[in-house]
Amino acid sequence: MINEIPEEVDACQPLPLQIIAFNQNGQIPFGLEVGHIQAAMQEFLDFLGFVNLALHSKKIPRLESFLMSANFSSMVGEFMSVAIPKYCSTIVKNTYHNGHPDLIPAGKFPNDAVQHGTLGIEIKGSRHRSGWQGHNAEECWLMVFVFDANTSRDVLNNVPPRPFCFVSVYGAQLMKEDWNFSGRSKTSRRTITARVTRSGFNKMTSNWIYQRQGSDSSRGKDVDVLQVVE
């Protein structure tokens, strides 16, 4: 059973943030500061640790262990979209259902709602350290929260439990030429998406906001080494 694995208990508590890993010179628009991002990230770690420990007490797997990978990544992004405005009064969550971008300047739009615009910040959570995807090639300021965590496939593949960890945070203004649409085979049912290209990747990584230093103890890999997926 899940509760009989000592590593599972340890994995319920996310790895703490590294304060020295925040770039105080990171440039973020609309009045956002690095400290606001740090506070929101800490709130997510507190939330996930609280929930996973509660689930563990009921012999239920951790969230990242049973949610589909895309659903968990979406949850990370949605949580950050709600948490960040709590620490910064100059930006708000876009109240339009499925509106774009996720965060918009406070008081700029009626009822803080816009269906589709370029003024604001789009938020994404991702396990991938490059090749980030979106449904459309958008001109917007994109912020990606890269993390490491178990997936729902790990139990079947005998991958040991490991705690959630924020690996890095990147952000930059992207243009349409910084995206490339990913194709699909004739038999694929996968939704066609746009992927950040090398030019967009370079823009974002040059304006890093957080980069965890050292090695990920669960995988033994340097977490600050990135590779671009063309």
Question: What does pTM read for this prediction?
Answer: 0.85
In the chain, the DSSP E strands lie at 91-93, 103-105, 121-126, 133-134, 140-148, 165-174, 179-181, 194-196, 208-211, 215-216, 221-222
| pLDDT in the model for residue 228 | 34
| pLDDT in the model for residue 124 | 92
Give me the percent of the chain exceeding a pLDDT of 90.
Answer: 62
- Specify the CATH number for the domain of residue 42: 3.40.600
| pLDDT in the model for residue 184 | 47
Residue 3 has pLDDT above 90, yes or no: no
Q: With cut-offs at 50, 70 and 90, classify the pLDDT of residue 131.
A: low
Work out how many domains the chain is built from and give that number.
1
In a domain, 223, yes or no: no
Residue 114 has pLDDT above 50, yes or no: yes
In a domain, 228, yes or no: no
Average pLDDT score over residue span 80-84 = 97
DSSP alpha helix (H) spans, the chain = 6-11, 34-57, 63-66, 69-87, 198-206
Closest CA to 84 of 208, 209, 224, 226: 209
DSSP alpha helix (H) spans, 15-136 = 34-57, 63-66, 69-87
pLDDT in tens, 157-207: 889 999 999 999 999 998 888 767 665 444 544 555 677 778 878 988 999
In a domain, 222, yes or no: no
Give me the percent of the chain exceeding a pLDDT of 70.
Answer: 82
> Alpha carbon 35 to chain centroid distance?
17
Average pLDDT score over residue span 4-31 = 92
In a domain, 230, yes or no: no
Helices 69-87 and 34-57, axial angle in degrees (round to 10): 130
Instruction: Look over the chain and give the mean of its residue pLDDT values, rounded to a whole number.
Output: 85
In a domain, 95, yes or no: yes
Lowest-pLDDT range, 56-65, 161-170, 205-214, 220-229? 220-229
In a domain, 219, yes or no: no
Of 3 and 127, more confident: 127
| pLDDT in the model for residue 227 | 35
In a domain, 73, yes or no: yes
Residues 172 and 138: beta-carbon distance below 8 Å: no
Range of the domain at 87: 2-15+22-213
- Who contacts 188 (Cβ-Cβ below 8 Å, separation ≥6)? none
In a domain, 70, yes or no: yes
pLDDT in tens, 28-62: 999 999 999 999 999 999 999 999 999 999 999 99
Give the separation between CA 108 and CA 65, rounded to whole angstroms: 40
Give the separation between CA 71 and CA 21, rounded to whole angstroms: 27
